[in-house]
Structure 1
Amino acid sequence: MNPPARDLAQYIANRSHIVVKAAVRAENEQGELLLIQHAEQGHWRIPVGRMRPGEAIEDAAHRELWEETGWTASSMILETLHSGPDLRQLHSSGDEDYYVIALFRALIIQDRLVESRVNSEAGLKFFDPSSLPLLNGLSRLLLERSKMD
Structure 2
Amino acid sequence: MLDYIMKVREKVGTMPLVVSVAGCLILDEQNRVLLQHRTDNHNWSHPGGAVEVGESVEDAVKREVFEETGLRLQNLEFFNIYSGESQHYIYPNGDEVYFVNIIYICKKFEGTPIADQKETKSLQFFELNSLPNMTPNNQTIIDDLKKTISQSISLN
The TM-score with structure 1 as length reference comes to 0.71
Matched, 1:138 2:104: no
Decide whether the 8 Å contact of 1:26 with 1:34 is kept in 2.
Answer: yes
Is 2:72 aligned against 1:72? yes
The count of residues paired between Structure 1 and Structure 2 equals 132
Residue 40 to residue 55, structure 1, CA distance change in 2 (3 Å): closer
CA RMSD in angstroms comes to: 3.3
Aligned pairs for 1:105-144 (under 5 A) are: 105-109=105-109, 113-114=111-112, 117=114, 123-144=122-143
**Bigger Rg, structure 1 or 2:** 1
1:61 aligns with 2:61: yes
TM-score for both structures, normalised by structure 2: 0.68
Moved more, 23-32 or 122-131: 122-131
2:44 matched residue in structure 1: 44
Secondary structure of the residue that 1:59 maps to in structure 2?
helix
Change (3 A) 1:63 1:147: same
Match of 1:9? none
Residue identity opposite 1:103 in structure 2? I
Same amino acid, percent of matched pairs: 26
What amino acid sits opposite 1:65 in the alignment? V
C-alpha spacing 1:109/1:87, structure 2 compared with 1 (3 Å): closer
Alpha-carbon distance in 1 for matches of 2:18, 2:40: 28
What's the counterpart of residue 21 of structure 1?
21
Deviations 1:85-105 (A, max 9, x none): 33234589x985321110110
C-alpha contact (below 8 Å) 2:62/2:72 kept by paired residues: yes
Query: Structure 1: where are the runs of 5+ without partners?
Result: 1-11
